[in-house]
Structure 1
Amino acid sequence: MPYIKIELTRENVTKQQKQLLISGITKLISDVLEKDPALTHVVIQEIDTDNWGVSGEQVSILREKGITGKLK
């Protein structure tokens, strides 16, 4: 029973994009590992940008500074 956890910042990810991630990852696991899609679990956890850091800074602060190029 594969369990895949996707963590991303809580920023403008639509329901449709999440569905594409879930179906795409499930298909990949099925194709590569030959696992039953019905037994494959995908969890998407959205994390507030105050709680995600890159290069020693909170992503929320980097966004405020306009430093977004490397974070996309």
Structure 2
Amino acid sequence: MENKQLKKGILILFIILAYSLLSITYTLILNGKINWSPFILAVCVIASLINIYRNYNKTLKKVNT
């Protein structure tokens, strides 16, 4: 995967994460309840970002050795 594509993908994931967190906060403040759909989406996005970070570090280590 090219570096530009990786950066665009990470940017999109951060936008989705920000939207999810804002939605969770908004519904929590207004209704006093957690909106589970964006919460699950945020958890999945965080897991994806962690996975991308791990794979990118493994790739960098292979290239540098």
With structure 2 as the length reference, what TM-score do the two structures score?
0.35
Q: Specify which structure has the bigger relative contact order, considering alpha-carbon pairs within 8 angstroms and separated by 6 or more residues.
A: 1
Q: Which has the higher helix share?
A: 2
